[in-house]
Structure 1
Amino acid sequence: MDGMRAVVTGASSGIGAATVRALRHDGWDVVAVARREDRLRALAAETGCEVVVADVTSDADVAALAEHLASTGPVHALVNNAGGAKGLASVEESDLADWAWMFEVNVLGVKRVTSALLPLLRRGADERGVADLVNVTSLAGHVAYVGGGGYNAAKFAAHALTEVLRLELNGEPIRVVEVAPGLVKTDEFALVRFGGDRERADAVYEGVPEPLVAEDVASVIVDAMSKPPHVDLDLIVVKPVAQAAPHRLAKGPLVTRREASR
């Protein structure tokens, strides 16, 4: 993908950082976007990506990102990955501030970056023949679960936003791809959700045989972006084999069921 440029938000850790690595491995030029400059600099030293320090919840930061990108060439792909969850309380008892944060980063952040960069994606589509707009949502945006209230609501909204974008961009050479991961064991997601409580964060994955890791999701994203220009993987739900639904996780080794003895 020599000469092709992708922008990845939420690139300082987890799925975002893994996606930067995977795209660089495939030959993409990558602009890694996140709030934490130290982590971005380390990623740049490792992969050779370009970095822009920006918060997707800030109008000024996103405008500055768009201005920088416009001055340095087209964008052929955008991966809206920035997001997160806070809390696992009921709808009744959950903190409204947590809900506001989740909507701001998971929904409004996607809208803000997409609106700012679509003109650049169109330039990229004219050059490459197709541009990719990839929104990383969640299984939580398709299946509700107890304690998921705010996160479910935000990710359902992100899914709806993606569906509407696909309708609005119909007729243009822009692929709108939604990647909805299930249980992914990353270094920070559960830790942020539980306010830094490492014991609660670790318990999410305890006993689950081989949850997904960030690299698994990154490989799916890159594969979707590598398809022939006329092929659009609209929605990709990716889960570990041990997960049937957000609330249905196998614990312990996966074993085949034997026929009952006669």
Structure 2
Amino acid sequence: MMAPLLSVDDLVVDYRKSGFRKARFRALDGVSIEIGRAETLGLVGESGSGKTTLGRAVLGLAPITSGSVRFEGRDIGRLSRRDRRELSRDLQVVFQDPYSSLNPAMTVGAILAEPLTVQGWSAKDARRRVREVLDQVGMPASTLSRLPSEFSGGQRQRVAIARALALAPKLIVCDEPVSALDLSTQARVLDLFLQIQQDTGVSYLFVSHDLDVVRHLSHRVAVMYRGVVVEHGDAARVTTDPDHPYTRGLLLASPTPDPDRQAERRRLRYELLARADAADAGG
């Protein structure tokens, strides 16, 4: 069996709270996941569940209390600064907000060339690669000389995806990459992610609060609640017939136009969350 591209084993992340006694808050408590090559793992949970912290830990941006994050067998937490710089070629990120993730003072061409020149690419080779990735995300070459403010939210997110693709990474951490977009734009960007994976074989850790979104492009789904993975399995099963009450509650979070049905869904969701809290307290 081929070794996983990413392996997170029994990961614990603590943050020190502010204040006199400086108590610790446990953001992740023994989390384990794996991602294979050309695979998408959807990571789902509400705000405060720990999903964003897990994404940051994979990127080397969160303090690891115990456990490990291994990328192609290398422990990310033990890498030198030089090795981390080399790792950035294979591990990239697409952030939630396409408006704040791009430098408004730089042209798109400069934004996309920056990670290449940092890695030692010549100006000529960088320009060639920038044109290639713009073509991959369906943006014209005229984009190069324009500022991010001249584009729509969906177009900016395409530019952000192009930046992540520039170094031909093996894994991209996608942190709520479509939540700031309208529904029609979301669908187009999700289809773009799928097409890029089909063309390049890149893997995704796709972080979202929306089960409908992760169902669209994930092979497997892990559901997080209060810093632990409470459910994990095939995407089709987890997003349609989940076992854990918290996951069933997430399914009921999607709005419906019928006010009576919405009220009933809200009541059922509160009951499921209370059961999830009871199970968490008992565990």
Task: Tell me, yes or no, whether TM beats 0.5.
Answer: no
Shorter-chain TM-score: which interval?
Answer: 0.3 to 0.5
Please, what TM-score do these two structures have when normalized by structure 1? Answer: 0.34
Larger radius of gyration: 2
**Which structure shows the bigger proportion of residues in strand conformation?**
2
